Structure 1
């Protein structure tokens, strides 16, 4: 799901002024905490990326963080620090990956610090793990640990002149193979930077020109077996230059997902924000239609959860992840009528479309159908696909089966 700035909350703010950025964060869930590594950057004349912080917040908060340690660029022999990333190894060691700029050049490298805990990171343990070369710089690591550790990164060309060193291509950091490349004529024609991998999808930053450097926007791409192909975006901040970049995504133990991203303000600065996403919906279970009921109130059964003249399950369903839109919930009143022991339901198929997501396509289909169908009860997703026109415009399509109570004509 694309980030929606209007649903986000502020985590950390930066001083007003161009070049003051706080963000480029990477998040990690471990135990009862969310751990966050992020960089604090200032204008060039004040040192650029001066330091990286490691902080943590209780899982049930995710907004207020306590700093555990700080790494200064001087300790890393770096002209500037950029996006960090955290990992916990199978042996229980903690690793902090750092993007380090080489002095008086456009070159970047990735170094790693290792410690027994997140409070104990020290530059004394530094080790260069991805050095880059004379031909390219490498930075902004993205980590995913399953059985093994996968690492992606962004490379910048150094052999095409300084005026082209801002170009970005995403690679498998260990093999060097490209996994996502810019495409001419798109909003990401100047560069693509993977920022988070979630299943077969990935968040990425993109921009169309060198002038858009530092003001990248976010899209979603899908793995096609050989590389990531953009399928949604871009998402942007409504403020300043529109930057909404460096998305980091974590799955929460109770379901749902939390995003962290760097976002432009109206003051030339970038701040760190977070967004809590609802639990990913599964085909066949979303979205609830108008008048849809929770599992304990199936068609043909009198609702067992009535309270104060309205079904109490509505309130419970509002707390669940796969809820209907607010206007659909309001449309369920007045309370449902009593039902006979036996009922007959009719099923039809509809297709909804959206330029943003399958969820929005499904919601559009349900809302439109509910305008002409009485007593709509269940909406079941049966198929999802994407239509591409000749101009490359993406349309999300969701096919649903809608069931509603069949009424004999009088």
Structure 2
């Protein structure tokens, strides 16, 4: 039986999505997991695969690892048309619509007739290890049957790349025609190209540099601390009780400020009050109304709380903190020397989280160098999602022509 899941990670026999947080019903998530990939699963259907125990960089062995993933298209006889698309921090595996009509989050990039044409390529997207959309993470059962919670080990991007390599083996993919991603997804793509150079022929790294800088780690620490200081967090062992919703919502507010540019926020909201909530007319500080930008951030926090697990947010953010392609490999040019893929490096001109200068440094350090393609968008970091169409020509000419 092909298993599809809701966005809560609960196995069902028919596709269903967007049904609450991905921490819900964690004990059911790995029920009836396939030991090998199911045949003929509908495009865009979440599937599970057990890949066994995984030795992590932190020295811990994570037993009985499960990965959630989706596929589109058909793998050809020699396995040469496989494309891996890596999701960003709180993304899921639903890159584009398939058997259902639910839109994906990168429709301009992948789908029938898109640059990554699912009529020509076999497209795969894998939920990151530590996530909450099908892969083993803090909300999934540990060997004792209880959610991992605070016991879930530190996972790095190299760990999740190693896990994904096992899934590729199980699917019969010896090498990827291309690996692509933006932000955290771009860091994952880069790690693939450096860790397994013989398995990546083309690599697109968008809106991320060769490592997470001190400033990026600082922003990330503020987010994880917001969650940890929520009274309902209980050290990470909150399953079965109240969720740390306030902390997770605050973490999302902090993050979202870095995802959008100052000009975009000012042009969109300015100093306007939210409806009748006049901030300067309140009788007390405690009773004052909100500015529009505050209401916007409140909305972003509330949306994430409904669909994401707080522990997974911490685990994946820690993985992004670990991003350093040079760790244990030497200087940047030496660390990249083994990569044999053809690269496409891109940045968003107005990005204030991952500055274009970091992407330029990466491009110049690659073997033979690479051109940095700029996405012209005033909105900031999120432009890698909303304006990916600007790279259609480059992707077609460089990779998919």
TM-score range, shorter chain: under 0.3
Higher relative contact order (CA 8 A, sep 6+): 2
TM-score, normalized by length of structure 2? 0.25
TM-score, normalized by length of structure 1? 0.24
Q: Which has the higher strand share?
A: 1
